[in-house]
Amino acid sequence: MAPNITMLDIEELKKTKLKPYIEQSLEHKAPDPGALAMLGHNIDLAIANYEAWAISFNSGNLSHKIKEIMRVSLSRQAHCSY
């Protein structure tokens, strides 16, 4: 089955207001920069998604156990072998 959404070029997206988010994502290797390459079709959505992810995973409000449950659940939904 072919994908419905194309991944945009990260270097091209760096020319938009996504640049700081992409750089943080590449530096920390999380969230996957590929998510921004897919969501970059709607830059405001990509930023909102990144910020929600950052609050959830980096603010210290969630335990490590909950974060791992989220990661495993998302990987299973995406049929990823995480």
- Each residue of 10-35: pLDDT tens digit? 999 999 999 999 999 999 888 888 88
- 28 located within any domain: yes
In a domain, 2, yes or no: no
pLDDT at 59 over 90: no
Average of pLDDT values for 1-14?
A: 84
Fill in the amino acid letter for 17.
Answer: K
What's the pTM? Answer: 0.74
Q: Evaluate if residue 54 carries a pLDDT over 70.
A: yes
For residue 4, being part of any structural domain is answered with: no
| Structure tokens, 20 | 């700081």
d(CA 60, CA 40) in angstroms, rounded, equals: 27
Residue 55 lies in a domain: yes
Range of 46's domain?
10-77
Q: Is residue 5 part of a domain?
A: no
- Residue 11, amino acid: E
Number of structural domains (the chain) is: 1
What pLDDT, on the 0 to 100 scale, is given for residue 16? 96
Residue-wise pLDDT for 29-52, tens only, equals 888 888 899 999 999 999 999 998
The answer to whether residue 3 is domain-embedded is no
Q: Tell me the C-alpha distance between 56 and 14, whole Å.
A: 24
Q: Does a structural domain hold residue 36? A: yes
